[in-house]
Chains A and B, each alone.
Chain A
């Protein structure tokens, strides 16, 4: 979707302001917001792509004016409502008013380390041979789905070169809508800066993205 999150190439945000000796978390609630999301994220109720789509669906003014973990809290609430983990009344009351529909399988403390070590690999067996190979010139499609996609607007309808075949990966555009992992071949595609930003862009700049095969068409 073309939400506020897709901000590559936007202007007006001012300079980058690194914070000297910045702490990992800026408040206790941020620690909780982080941990809650990771823990419940691994409980198999929803997937990461669906979580990202929910977050980018937050209205642009709110998205741009919430802090990073503020967005995590708002997104967690929306996911809990959407996936039946809690009702609006429970969120408002700040406590459960009924037992959970399905008995949950929480991640316990002793499982955390292995869960982190294992991570969640996205590569899958390939259902078909790859269409493109390294060195191929491709054009990204100019699609504007209202659902989740990982093809940023600044790179749509642009010509680039395949610089890596990553392998077959879960396809977020389908996975986020809970219509299956739908694995597709994934490539790293590199663009000349002038192809993205115009002929007077810095000639020394290249920008690469990862793009699934459905994003690409042969030149």
Chain B
């Protein structure tokens, strides 16, 4: 949560801060492994899981399936967790997932003003901006301003629903399916689904963007 608006402050702050933090982490890891509280190999598996395996491509597959399969879409919107488990994703920070659907009249946006709650199983770990003060502070009282930061402008009369994840419920936005994708396979449709479009700070790509 360092002060982003003070870029110089942010960077010089980081260099001295960073090396100090690196040393602290190394010291901690040594202490904890020497005491036997932590198995270093387990650490590597944790890191591998969230750096390489679990990420927004999971959520993109869920969205693409909802676009292509109306019955699945119905199940997903009715009860997110089991529907997402059908596609193989579940668990930590996704034990209670609620899918919220964008329509021409309503746009959904997800935030955690209190910390960084985010649906890990379908989107992986949250980006820095999602956990930083500018987003957490403004998403709830100036969502159109936040969308402008992402270069997105919605019609004035579109209802904007902001979901503040204050409990263990995790929200997944189902963006509107772009026009001109009739007959596309789920794999191809998934390529249109961006991470931001599943948070609500962006829209799905259009077919033209894939050329």
Contact = CB atoms under 8 A, between A and B. Distances in A.
Q: Do chains A and B touch in the complex (CB under 8 A)?
A: yes
Interface of A: 59-62, 144
B14 to A, nearest CB: 13
Interface residues of B, number: 8
Interface in B123-174: 133, 141
B133 A62 contact: no
B180 to A, nearest CB: 40
Contacts of B141: 144
Q: How would you classify the secondary structure of chain B's contact residues: helix, strand, loop or mixed?
A: loop
Contacts of A62: 3, 6, 9
A60 B5 CA distance: 10
Interface of B: 1-3, 5-6, 9, 133, 141
A174 B208 CA distance: 49
Nearest to B1: A61
12 contacts: A59-B3, A59-B5, A59-B6, A60-B3, A60-B133, A61-B1, A61-B2, A61-B3, A62-B3, A62-B6, A62-B9, A144-B141
Nearest to A61: B3
Contacts of B9: 62
Given A59-B5, A62-B6, 6 more contacts: A61-B1, A61-B2, A61-B3, A62-B3, A62-B9, A144-B141
Nearest to B141: A144
Contacts of A60: 3, 133
A187 to B, nearest CB: 27
A62 B2 CA distance: 9
